[in-house]
Chains A and B, each alone.
Chain A
Amino acid sequence: MVILNSPISKNDVVKLKAGDTVHLNGIIVTARDVVHKYLIENKPKEYKKLLKNGVIYHCGPVVDRVGKKWIIAAAGPTTSMRQEPYTADVLKEYGVSGIIGKGGMGDRTLKALKKYKAVYFHAIGGLAQVLAECVVDVKDVFMLKEFGSPEAIWVLDVRDFPVTVTMDSHGNSLHKAMYERSGAILNSLITKGGL
């Protein structure tokens, strides 16, 4: 297992290989499709520093407000493919080093991960309680009023956040490999009959 601190240097990014299990420490920033669209279309400058070598988390948490503190009550990953149309551009414009999500992403993102040196970390879908316990602090929140709490930009400080690298910066995707491998098995299961 690899232990990594976020922000992640590009030097560390290229050492990661598809299949590595990683525990992340440090800052991760939630962003779903609405935020990605906003980052690309409105080009806000104030997030450049936050996202440089940073980690984006595809997540819409359940949050609670206790006094002046925000508490993350549930925070598993959401489907990453929704961010596919914007991710290559976000990697380019903001210099992001890592994406955490679920389900993997497409070819355009895979190419961009290679070009801009970044990796895709897969978290376990539905793991909202285990992952919420990894959040030690909510550092900040942006666009809360505009987008609502599930779609806002939450800046989270995490410890031992468990993920697996499924797409690396060398063009490898476990998702692609699995699709092909299971496709071959499927073909062997449907040899009889047919049209």
Chain B
Amino acid sequence: MDNEKILDTFVELIRRASSDLPVDVVTAIEEGLLTEKRDSIAHKTLQMILKNIKLAKEKSLPMCQDTGTPVFYVNYPAGVSQIDIKKKISQAIKESVHKLYLRPNIVDTLTGKNLGDRTGPGYPVINFEEWEKDYIRVLLMLKGGGCENVGTQYALPDSRVNAGRDLEGVRRCILDAVHKAQGRGCSPGILGVCIGGDRVSSYEESKKQLLRSLDDKNKNSVLDKLEQEIFRDANKLGIGPMGFGGRTTLLGVKIGSLFRIPPSYFVSVTYMCWAYRRRGFEYKGGKVKRWLY
């Protein structure tokens, strides 16, 4: 691994994630705009969001001042050192704060002190997984706080939302989550959902679902149908951009499932704001093979 080059690549990854929204997300927002009435507040809000996206790209500056928790997904071939990669990511975050791609966003929870350009336990989040391919793949999501706060988890049966342990129960939970979130997750949002797993793996998988492109069709026909149903129904709620009212409440729904043990039936919902910042790269022989998204 060429250390200098991979450091630069990580900084470039963060720059792209923070300032340049992937094309599938921009397209979904543009499609949302077409469904809204001209001169409605929803229409104006989406237009303003599109203007903001353009400005951020031109200036190479954060589209949202909350540059979020950087969540990395690193796949690597045998022989690559995780410690090495962790160090590079820490350095890249430091550099990105100085280049204004990231806000100094880390706070010591006990003392309340902002730690500036440092990294520490819980920040960033790095998920490592060895794989059989001969190159490294890094995916990065910048997960903002506002939308992270409206994420939620249900344990079925749940009498609050009258949800039993079946797909209809799952559907009720997800729609309830969209209703509870209103505009507070910076709608139009994208849902990452996991059915099953334990408390932790379920939340993790729900976030991982957000790595799928918006135009990606679920390979499982049951989940594919559920995704489409939720998407259609959630956009009937009328919450709209920022909760101001409108037809564009969600830009997408991605659902995965994990095995579970009989006592537990979790439905975990991760809400992503319209500033759905994810980027990635594949890296081999000291250089970038290709950029992703």
Contact = CB atoms under 8 A, between A and B. Distances in A.
B180 to A, nearest CB: 9
A61 B242 contact: no
Residue with the greatest number of chain A CB neighbours at <10 A, chosen from B65, B104, B245: B65
A193 B241 CA distance: 30
Contacts of B183: 102-104, 125, 175, 178
Interface string A62-81: 10100000000111101101
Nearest to A103: B184
A127 B182 contact: no
A35 to B, nearest CB: 12
Given A79-B149, A124-B49, A182-B182, A148 B242 contact: no
A2 interface: no
Contact of B62 (A81, A128, A130, A189): A128
Interface string B64-90: 111100000000000000000000000
Contacts of A73: 61-62, 100
A98 to B, nearest CB: 18
Interface residues of A, number: 50
A148 B169 CA distance: 45
B28 interface: no
Chain B: interface secondary structure? loop
Interface stretch (B158-166, B197-205, B284-292): B158-166
Nearest to A128: B65
Interface in B33-60: 41, 45, 48-49, 51-52, 55-56, 59
Interface in B202-252: 233, 236-239, 241-245
B36 to A, nearest CB: 14
Of the four ranges (under 10, 10 to 19, 20 to 34, 35 or more), the interface on chain B belongs to 35 or more
B146 A78 contact: yes
B127 interface: no
A192 B113 CA distance: 51
Given A129-B55, A182-B239, A193-B168, A79 B146 contact: yes
B164 A126 contact: no
Contact of A76 (B64, B176, B243): B64
B112 interface: yes
Nearest to A193: B168
Given A124-B45, A126-B273, A194-B172, A104 B52 contact: no
Given A34-B112, A79-B146, A178 B168 contact: no
Given A76-B66, A126-B49, A62 B103 contact: yes
Interface in A88-135: 102-104, 122, 124-130, 132-133
Contacts of A147: 114
A71 B61 CA distance: 13
A178 B275 CA distance: 23
Contacts of B241: 124
25 contacts: A21-B41, A62-B62, A74-B62, A75-B65, A76-B65, A78-B145, A103-B146, A104-B243, A124-B241, A125-B186, A125-B242, A126-B274, A127-B52, A128-B65, A129-B63, A130-B48, A133-B55, A150-B104, A175-B182, A178-B245, A181-B238, A182-B179, A194-B163, A194-B168, A195-B162
Interface of A: 21, 34, 59-62, 64, 73-76, 78-79, 81, 102-104, 122, 124-130, 132-133, 147-151, 162, 164, 166, 174-175, 178-179, 181-183, 185-186, 189-190, 192-195
Given A126-B63, A129-B63, A182-B182, 10 more contacts: A34-B112, A62-B103, A76-B64, A78-B66, A103-B184, A125-B186, A129-B61, A130-B51, A149-B114, A178-B239
